[in-house]
Amino acid sequence: MKLNFIKTSPAGNTTVFILDQLPRDMHSQVARALMDPGSLYAEQVGFIEKPKEDPDGIRLQMMGGEFCGNASRSFAAYMVYSGYPQIGFENDSYIVPIQVSGLERDLVCRVYPTEIPSSFRASVEMPLPLSMHAEEFIISGEKRAAIRVDFPGITHFVVDEDNLRSRTEFFHLVRDKMSTESFEAFGIMYHNFEESTSSPLVYVKDTDSLVWERSCASGTAALGAAMAYLSGSDIQMEIKQPGGSLLIKVDWNGEETTSIILDGMVEIVAEGTVNL
């Protein structure tokens, strides 16, 4: 099988988009093959669909039906890169409405062109948390706290990695907890609060894939929301991750998060066909 693809790098979180129309029951199998080092070696895969109810529209369906902020930013950048007609231009940026899996409403991205035709800065207004609260885990008889942030399509746990003996041990505790629930994907943001650095780990159920991502947009949004929750104030900061930095801006009204804006670079790094 020969498939047409685009490969993007949003702050190092390599994302492949398949342009051909495939049945959704093939998505997980195809995604696993493309993520393999012997193939396109991506951290995640999305499928660009043409909705039956809107033949002129396009939609991003992620490999496990999850929501991904970096993929959403990359999808918007791809639409600008490919000259998709249904986008506007305002104040030096393209206004790009997108449909993505894991959400019941459209998102709006801003895409800023650069001097390099394949390089963009893209921001997205992230969905707000459905819920957010502290959860305790028992590790060798001692309590360790994490902030759980539930988004549409994915749940994240934000934890101070200095309080952990082992990242692997904490992952197994989280996986055991999530195994009792219905979920599409979950992630852990292992965060160093002194240096403002994070290491994102993401598990997607449908593809049974566990990836140390080089950056994670929804995890960064969860981290920002958690920090606003802990401080009781607005947050604007750069979060350094293995693949690059993402800028997060969170508005807090004293009781809850009211807005989350995520901003960062997106590179179109490859396009062509792949054989499976």
Catalytic residues: 68, 216
- Angle, helices 69-81 vs 217-231, to 10°: value is 130
Q: Check: CB of residue 30 under 8 Å from CB of residue 22.
A: yes
Give one word for 263, left, alpha or beta, with left for phi > 0 and alpha for psi -120 to 50. beta
- Here the tokens at position 220 are 């960064």
DSSP 100: B
- What distance in Å separates the CA atoms of residue 173 and residue 169, rounded to the nearest whole number? 7
Judge whether 263 and 238 are in contact, CB under 8 Å: no
3-state helix, strand, coil in the chain (%, to 5): 20, 45, 35
